[in-house]
Amino acid sequence: MLRMTDGKKLGFATRTIHEGQAPDAATGALNVPIYLSSTYQHSAIGKNKGYEYSRLTNPTRDALEECLRSLEGGTSAHCFGSGMAAITALCTMMKSGDHVVCAFNVYGGTQRVFDQVLVNYGITFSYVDMMDLAALRAAIRPETKLVHLESPSNPLMTVTDIRAVVGVCRESGVEVSVDNTFMSPYLQQPIELGADIVMHSTTKFLNGHSDGLGGVLVGTKPEHDERFRFVQKCTGGILSPFDSYLLLRGIKTLSVRMEKHDANGRVVADFLAKRLGTEHVYYPGLKTHPQHELAKRQQKGFGALMSFETGSLTAADDFLKRLKLCALAQSLGGVETLMSHPATMSHASFSAEERARMGITDGLVRISVGLEDVEDIVADLEQALG
């Protein structure tokens, strides 16, 4: 880890630019080279310069992983080809007979891989409201190995008290993993709050430019490093050198981007609350949000994600078709403002009954507020709302 000469850790923004990214020894290049080589020369049997084959390790990916490790405050980081590849790798810590407790309001793809893929290997999953600590405590069994949550949740922006969840899990020796995609390490530090593992879809705010898929697991124990490195080696779902470069480039501006995302998000949320009523807008930055005070304590800001209710599928479709600047598209966290319809996009794999139980209606629309001039974003929303 980079430190000042007096031993103090460098600031967050400084580490986004420099951690793991020393000038190239051969040329002095300030950007980490894209090492496209799949293999590396050995000087003799069993002798190499630290690299053998790029599925195992690659200099560009190594630089990225060191940077992400530092930003999340972990002891190791391992990058994968997508966020879903990362969540799948996380579950390789389990074996047949093990049990995972998961937040009931996670991303639809997470529950899909749990309930339609990993259950076939003898792992069982339970879903609870993580704000109900009694329910969480009751869900933990002797065979429970992991509790997994997102905060804020997708798409209703429910904030979970991470420190409180960790406290319950410590009673039983169960590890806690947190999907920190919505906040990024700039706005939230789950490991500081006691989490054992942090995951991201790096496709989102970490990349920030909607031009590269990826995922990462940041661990805090030697066994995390050993296990996730072994999974990279054995399954091969690693991040490519070029995508590693794109992600490193995006991370360099993470601090300034998240500040702008957060500032724009607050303005857009205020506009929607005045236009539609606060009861129809889900954003932790609104004082009427039920976890507003918790978000203030746990997060550095409120971020760019929010959802609002239009009233029906027809109303949502009409609104989305009238947009001129904002784009209806999958994903979030890019420089452009992205709109999504959770019922038919991120949570389409849930049944209508499951979505209703989660509070996801056919009229719900999610916004990932981008970096455009906020007056232009608001104007587009205003005209589309009619």
Q: What pLDDT, in 10s, does the model give residues 353-362? A: 989 988 999 9
Active-site option among 35, 107, 127, 283: 107
Calculate mean pLDDT across residues 229-242: 96
**Integer angstrom CA distances of residue 299 from 65, 147, 284, 337:** 23, 20, 10, 22
Cα(369)–Cα(386) distance, integer angstroms: 20
Active-site option among 62, 179, 196, 362: 179
Find the angle CA(326)-CA(328)-CA(334) to the nearest 5 degrees: 65
Q: Which amino acid, residue 152?
A: P
Of the pLDDT bands very low, low, confident and very high (cuts 50, 70, 90), residue 299 is very high
Mean pLDDT score of the chain: 96
- 179 in active site: yes
* pTM attached to this predicted model: 0.96
- 229 in active site: no
Q: What pLDDT, in 10s, does the model give residues 92-148? A: 999 999 999 999 999 999 999 999 999 999 999 999 999 999 999 999 999 999 999
DSSP type of residue 354: H
Of the pLDDT bands very low, low, confident and very high (cuts 50, 70, 90), residue 34 is very high
What would the two tokens of residue 349 be?
Answer: 């794999």
pLDDT of residue 350: 86
Q: What pLDDT, in 10s, does the model give residues 331-373? A: 999 999 999 999 999 999 888 998 998 899 999 999 999 999 9
66 within 8 A of 20, measured Cβ to Cβ: yes
Q: What pLDDT, in 10s, does the model give residues 158-210? A: 999 999 999 999 999 999 999 999 999 999 999 999 999 999 999 999 999 99
Of the pLDDT bands very low, low, confident and very high (cuts 50, 70, 90), residue 303 is very high
Cα(241)–Cα(216) distance, integer angstroms: 14
pLDDT of residue 1: 66
- 107 in active site: yes
**Integer angstrom CA distances of residue 41 from 47, 61, 319:** 9, 19, 58
pLDDT of residue 250: 98
169 within 8 A of 99, measured Cβ to Cβ: no
122 within 8 A of 195, measured Cβ to Cβ: no
CA atoms within 13 A of residue 236's CA, in its CB half-sphere:
2
pLDDT of residue 3: 66
Peptide bond into 152 cis (omega under 30): yes
Answer yes or no: is pLDDT of 2 > 80: no
Active-site option among 61, 145, 204, 227: 204
Cα(282)–Cα(278) distance, integer angstroms: 8
Active-site option among 40, 55, 300, 318: 55
Of the pLDDT bands very low, low, confident and very high (cuts 50, 70, 90), residue 8 is confident
- 196 in active site: no
Token pair 């009694």 is found at 134
Answer yes or no: is pLDDT of 4 > 80: no
Q: Which long-range contacts (CB under 8 A, 24 or more apart) does 292-298 make?
A: 294/159, 294/161, 295/152, 295/159, 298/151, 298/159, 298/161, 298/162, 298/163, 298/188, 298/193
